[in-house]
Amino acid sequence: MASITTRNLDEALKRRLRIRAAEHGRSMEEEARDILRKEVGEPAPPTNIAAAIRARVAPLGGVELELRPREPMREPPRFA
């Protein structure tokens, strides 16, 4: 397995990483590995936007729209 060393890490960022690691009950090194796995790991499958929209609005219920009757098409113009 490979190793990585991070130099010149901002103190505030290091502090936030330490706090986040403590909140999750693990070391800073394991927390950093988890962040890298999530952000750089396997790419997520493409999202079907129509399915995502449907899943979001489906719990709200549907709406019945009253459709107006269609009228016959008008005659096309003549260019004679």
Domain ranges within the chain, ordered by starting residue: 11-55
**Which residue would you say has higher pLDDT here, 64 or 35?**
35
pLDDT tens for 69-78 read 999 999 999 9
pLDDT tens for 12-33 read 999 999 999 999 999 999 999 9
Contact partners, residue 32, CB within 8 Å, separation at least 6: 6, 17
Instruction: Give the dihedral of Cα atoms 26, 36, 7, 30; nearest 10 deg.
Output: 20
Tokens 């070391």 appear where?
A: 27
- Segment 46-72 shows an average pLDDT of 88
Question: Residue 15's pLDDT is what?
Answer: 96
- Segment 33-52 shows an average pLDDT of 88
